[in-house]
Structure 1
Amino acid sequence: MHGEYKVPGGKLVAVDLDVEEGVLRNVRVAGDFFLEPDEAILSIDRALEGASSSTDTAGLADRITAALPESTVMFGLTAEGIGIAVRRALAHATEWSDYDWQLIHEAPQSPALHMALDEVITAEVAAGHRPPTLRVWEWASPAVIIGSFQSLRNEVDPQGAERHGVTVVRRVSGGGAMFVEPGNTITYSLSVPEALVSGLSFADSYAYLDDWVLGALADMGIKAWYQPLNDIATDAGKIAGAAQKRIVGSDGGPGAVLHHVTMSYDIDADKMLEVLRIGKEKLSDKGTRSAKKRVDPLRRQTGLAREAVIERMIDSFRTRHGLTRGKVTDEEMARAEELVRTKFGTEKWTARVP
């Protein structure tokens, strides 16, 4: 069995192993990480040898840590990262390079249609009918997107939304509310087979699926990091929030994960405060005193036009994982438009948590 895991902000860890009578055998850890002293790699292999194949990531990491020489220095590597690679090997996880990735970047769509397209495209990936897909959104109108379980009245000021012509929609994933206007955010979705995140905890899958965009930001001179559970941040503050939804495959398909991210490019914070009910508790939880700091714009940090930032992100993904341009099929669009009519565009869905 073979498993790989790129430690967020670190290096790739690869593990090869066998399982005999429920325990790990012939374990070999490798990768492009840095490790001193040399013999520490043998200590890691020996620590994993004989472990039960049901040992969780934390248990594997504990075995590794206990076996390492006191002078061990790891760079780009963690005991937990090795444990995750082992669990991915045992789960027969796939890798980014196993797939032919498709890009969808089309004309602006209404907020409700974006919600529907996320569901339809991810369901197609879950059923095995479409390749893993990166979809970059363009917005036709301003919107507030609330999480699946958020209270509508607690999150949105209806008078502020009406005054600024903001449409309120509810997505299928959890997480918090996002305020967007055409041209002021960068939003994208990854619809990936569930096998890509096999062996990862729910929290680890966020970091794993966000890693490529951290690399893209680094290419633009921005030092960013994953901030648990679902934020991307820099020294200047939070710049993005992610959310996920698991979708079961139909027709015997493998299942899929929807991972979507909204990044702040040039938010009108004053308008946002008139539309969203952002409480002091939420701001203090993020360690910030003002909403303006929480939506630090990518425009100021990159000095690039929004379109240039998007193009560089797409190029970065293509360089790392390969990417060919695709489109929403006529059948997918028809299904999405029907979902707008019956679900995402209805008061029943939007106010399902009043």
Structure 2
Amino acid sequence: MHGEFKVPGGKLVVVDLAVTDGRISTFRLAGDFFLEPDDALAAIDEAVLGMSEQSAAAELAAAIRAALPDGAVLLGFTPESVATAIRRALGRAAAWRDFSWQLLHPAAFAPAFHLALDEVLTEAVAAGTRPPTMRLWEWDSPAVVLGSFQSVRNEVDLDAAARYGIDVVRRVSGGGAMFMEAGSVVTYSLYAPADLVRGMSFADSYAFLDDWVLQALRSLGIDAVYQPLNDIASSGGKIGGAAQKRLASGAVLHHVTMSYDMDGDKMVQVLRIGREKMSDKGTVSAAKRVDPLKRLSGLPRAAILQRMEQTFIELTGAVRGDLTEQELAAAEELTATKFRSAEWLYRVP
């Protein structure tokens, strides 16, 4: 069995192994990482031998860490990344280019329609009626997008939202509220087979699925980094955040919103930023926490989107595509029956 894991911001970890009677009987670690002393490599190999093929990633990482010689130095990888590669090998996980990706960049839609499209396209990938897909969003009206489990009353000042004509909608994934205005954010969704993140924890999968966009932003001179659990950040603050939903039917929805040119004053009037939430950020100003891409790059939003498209195509081999009439119709129906309904929006009042 063969498994690979490219550490976000780090090196490639490669493992080859065999299993006999439910236990790892042969194991070899390789990669373009740095490791001192030399005999630490053999120590890692020896630590993995004999472990159950059912071992969780945390168990594998703990065994590897315990076996390392005193003073061992690992650069570009960690015991956790080796464990992820092992779990991917055991789970027969796939790589980006094992799939035929499609890239979508349709015209602007209403906020609730975007959220319905996310559900429709994820289900389509799970059913095999659509290839794995990356979709860039365009907005035609402002919105606050709540996480699946957030309280409307706790998160949004509805009077302020109404005053500014801001729609309030709820997505299917968890996480925090996002403040959106046309032309002010960069949003994308990935609709991926579960095999792409097989063997990864949620934390590892966030970093893995966002690594391509970090590469795109860095190529524009933006010092973008991944910040656990689900943020993309710079030295000046948060650029954006990710959210994820894994369907039982066998697909992963992963979507990200990054600030391009945020109106921070309006955002803090519409969103209720609680003191407890802000206390662990070291600042009392939500607006100052965000570092928009326009300030970081000086580029038009369209130029950033173009570089993102180019990078995704280069890394995955994606081809450009279009939404089908059936997908658009299904999203229209789901918008009306679910995402525009009071029952869905106020599932957590």
Query: Gaps (5+ residues) in structure 2?
Result: none
Structure 1 segment 44-59 matched on structure 2, within 5 A? 44-59=44-59
Aligned partner of 2:159 in structure 1 is 159
2:344 equivalent among 327, 349, 352: 349
Aligned partner of 1:216 in structure 2 is 216
Structure 1 segment 274-289 matched on structure 2, within 5 A? 274-289=269-284
Once the two structures are overlaid, the 10-residue window that deviates more, 288-297 or 65-74, is: 65-74
Structure 1 segment 197-236 matched on structure 2, within 5 A? 197-236=197-236
2:303 equivalent among 303, 308, 325: 308
Q: Percent identity?
A: 61
CA distance in 1 between partners of 2:56 and 2:28 (Å): 18
1:269 aligns with 2:254: no
* TM-score when normalising by structure 1: 0.96
Aligned partner of 1:332 in structure 2 is 327
* TM-score when normalising by structure 2: 0.97
Kept in 2: contact 1:126–1:248 (CA 8 A) = no
CA distance in 2 between partners of 1:108 and 1:55 (Å): 46
> Shift in Å at residue 208 of structure 1?
1.4
Aligned partner of 1:9 in structure 2 is 9
How far does the alpha carbon of each residue in 1:206-242 deviate from its partner, in whole angstroms, 9 at most, with x for none?
A: 1111111111121112222222221111110011111
Kept in 1: contact 2:15–2:30 (CA 8 A) = yes
Kept in 2: contact 1:15–1:89 (CA 8 A) = yes
AA in 2 matched with 1:285 = D
CA distance in 2 between partners of 1:71 and 1:349 (Å): 54
Q: RMSD of the TM alignment (CA)?
A: 1.2
Kept in 1: contact 2:240–2:256 (CA 8 A) = yes
CA distance in 1 between partners of 2:71 and 2:347 (Å): 56
Aligned partner of 2:35 in structure 1 is 35
AA in 1 matched with 2:21 = E
Moved over 3 A (4+): none
Partner of 1:55: helix, strand, or coil? coil
Partner of 2:226: helix, strand, or coil? strand
CA distance in 1 between partners of 2:226 and 2:140 (Å): 29
How far does the alpha carbon of each residue in 1:308-351 deviate from its partner, in whole angstroms, 9 at most, with x for none?
A: 01111111111212111011100000000000110111122111
AA in 1 matched with 2:304 = V
CA distance in 1 between partners of 2:117 and 2:276 (Å): 33
How far does the alpha carbon of each residue in 1:257-313 deviate from its partner, in whole angstroms, 9 at most, with x for none?
A: 000000011100111111111112212223333111222111011111111011111
CA distance in 2 between partners of 1:310 and 1:289 (Å): 32
Aligned partner of 1:238 in structure 2 is 238
CA distance in 1 between partners of 2:194 and 2:246 (Å): 8
CA distance in 1 between partners of 2:246 and 2:201 (Å): 13
CA distance in 2 between partners of 1:350 and 1:311 (Å): 34
